[in-house]
Amino acid sequence: MSDHSRNRRDLRPARVEEAPEDLVLQARPELRSVWGEIQRVFPLRIPKSWWERIDLEDRGDPLGLQVVPHPGEAGEDLEGLDDPVGEELSAPVPLVVQKHRDRVVLLVTRACFLHCRYCFRRGMDLSPVSPDALGRAVAWIRQAGVREVILSGGDPLVLPDARLLDLIDALRPQVPVVRIHTRGPVASPERITEALARGLAARAPVWVVVSVNHPAELTPEADRALATLVDAGVPVLNQAVLLRGVNADVEVLEALSSALVARRVMPYYLHHTDHARGNAHLRVTLEEGLALHAELERRVSGLALPRYVIDPPDGSGKVPVERWARSR
């Protein structure tokens, strides 16, 4: 595994753009025969800030493993599912997922800063979300009697400030708590501005849940982005995904938890890898994950210990992996 503490090059401003295809194929010639299929199903997307920190020559680079396609994505995946967490079973109206009585997920966009190869929504329609469909979803939520809405997608921070803040305003006062799930602070840290942080803080309670999987993602630019939110009074949590070759190592998980707590970000969840079609090379077994989490519990404080959860394909919602394993 690559040294997670190694120095990286200075970052230039990030944009939502694809990494150069020819450089990926030059470094990964085994992808040439399946590139068309991979691009059709889940196209490459890497913002400049992330792209410039990947070491393509290192097959074990933790940043590259998360975003550079793998040949197995185009092969047969007997365990892979098109809807690995049961969202289609839990959609009362388009763009809304409800697995719990008191809260819902609202899919506000299908655009992302980067396409993570383990993504459980990797097979979704990537066409833009229409304003009319989003308006109907918000209207349904306002009368649904829920207390919490999770803005997801895609990545909600792809939206301009005005659209994002107007959306939060449209949910109030019926929905008191709003959560924003995003990779923005580590994928495109310049997106986190003082103006955005002030706007979110003014609409409290708004929680930001980031997804940081490896300490190498916590660059000085990401640190600034996270501090901008926290200093404004916006609480920030982290949910990592357990990924083979990236963070399925107790020392990496310990370093990640410690680094997050030092940045005033609470390690909230450690997600067991969803069985999305095409991500088999990144999956960890239940037994491996439970052993890693047990060892992590011995090494870190309660503040730094994320809950190890799984989101099963029956649409019932997240449960502790230990309980899920006992029930099988």
pLDDT of residue 168: 98
- Residue 19: the pLDDT is 58
Range in 40-44, 136-140, 199-203, 251-255 the model is least confident about: 40-44
Tokens encoding 190? 């310049």
Least-confidence region, from 76-85, 114-123, 277-286 = 76-85
Residue 82 one-letter amino acid: D
* Percent of the chain residues past pLDDT 70, beyond the cut: 94
pLDDT at 22: 86
Position 5 pLDDT exceeds 60? no
DSSP one-letter string for 109-121: -S--SS--TT-TT
14 CB burial (10 A radius; 0-12, 13-18, 19+) = buried
Instruction: Report whether pLDDT(232) > 60.
Output: yes
Q: Which residues are CB-contacts of 59 (< 8 A; sequence separation ≥ 6)? A: none
Query: What gap in Å lies between CA 167 and CA 150, rounded to an integer?
Result: 12
Average predicted confidence (pLDDT) for the chain = 92
For the segment 318-325, the average pLDDT, to the nearest whole number, is 93
- Kindly tell me if the per-residue pLDDT of 4 is higher than 90: no
Average of pLDDT values for 293-311? 98
Q: 149-179, pLDDT tens digit by residue?
A: 999 999 999 999 999 999 999 999 999 999 9
Tell me the sheet residues that pair with 138.
none
Name, in order, each residue with C-beta under 8 angstroms of 235's C-beta and a sequence gap of 6 or more.
207, 208, 266
Is residue 252 within 8 A of residue 214, CB to CB? The reply is yes
Alpha helices in the chain (DSSP H): 21-27, 35-41, 48-51, 62-67, 131-142, 161-171, 184-187, 194-201, 220-231, 250-262, 286-299, 321-327
pLDDT of res. 123: 84
pTM above 0.75, yes or no: yes
pLDDT per residue as tens digits for the range 67-79: 999 999 998 887 8
CATH 3.20.20.70 at 88-327, yes or no: yes
**What are the residues whose beta carbons fall under 8 Å from the beta carbon of 302, sequence distance 6 or more?**
none
